[in-house]
Structure 1
Amino acid sequence: MNIKLIAIGKTDNKNLQALIDDYKKRLGHYIRFEFEIIPDLKKVKHLSEAQQKVKEGELILSKTEKSDILILLDENGKQMDSVAFSNYLQKHMNSGIKTLVFVIGGPYGFSDEVYSRSNGKLGLSKMTFSHQMVRLFFIEQLYRGFTILRNEPYHHR
């Protein structure tokens, strides 16, 4: 199984980017992982929130295949602890799917089309985090999930 993370806009903070790169490298020992950045939309001043969500949604959906399982990282999504998340990953790996895609939306969330296409929603916390921090937190949790599945000591540090 492949795992792909799609996010809107680049990571501006070099320290965050270095940490993201570190966890991406670590993940490579467990699974094929791809992190795809969709550039921020240009000229958004003239777009309503709904129009911006639709345009971002079109870009998100253009990066997926019909066979992909699409999971939205959404504040209203199902929350789980790290062990439950590792079991969630294992369940998907056992299902024989080719690619599991997670998506971090833009500043206003997801369009109705993206919600309709999705196969589920996952929430990281009841707290609000910046979109750039969510990238790091999620990639770290992916790494943690695989170390849990392999009974490696990382989770217990």
Structure 2
Amino acid sequence: MGSEKIASMKRRIKSGAAMAGVAVIAGLGLTAGSAQAETEGDAEILAGGCASGYVCGWENSGYGGDKWVNWRVGGVGSTYEIDWWNGDNEISSISNESNKMLRLYANDGATGAYFCLGPGVDIRNLSDLEPDRNDWIESIRVVSAC
């Protein structure tokens, strides 16, 4: 391959990367600072993924840092325990990409105080909730209603 072709390919790659960066920045501006339910797909765009049928939880707000929860949601009554060495009391943003209602609990074994997360709801910053739910979740249970 000639040096002109290589230079042309590099320009196209740089141009494509720049356009992708503009698209990501534009998307970030649409949802910044909101604890309300976000538009469908925000968590996928911002964090690089929470697959359909899963609930995902990240250590940082804005779907950043390590993804400590990546659970394929089961049927009503199924429970997910967040490992104490791997994300327990460290979740700062969450995405429910399932069609299930979830209760997010303060204690292991789906016990203690909880709040509900509806199907398809993404929360960018759990500290914006009232009361503050940042670094609070220890277990998750699928429920029929909240």
Identify whether the pair has TM-score above 0.5, normalized to the shorter chain: no
**Greater share of strand residues, 1 or 2?**
2
Larger radius of gyration: 2
Point out which structure has higher relative CO (alpha carbons under 8 A, 6+ apart).
1
The structure with the greater share of residues assigned to helix is 1
- TM-score normalised by length of structure 1: 0.28
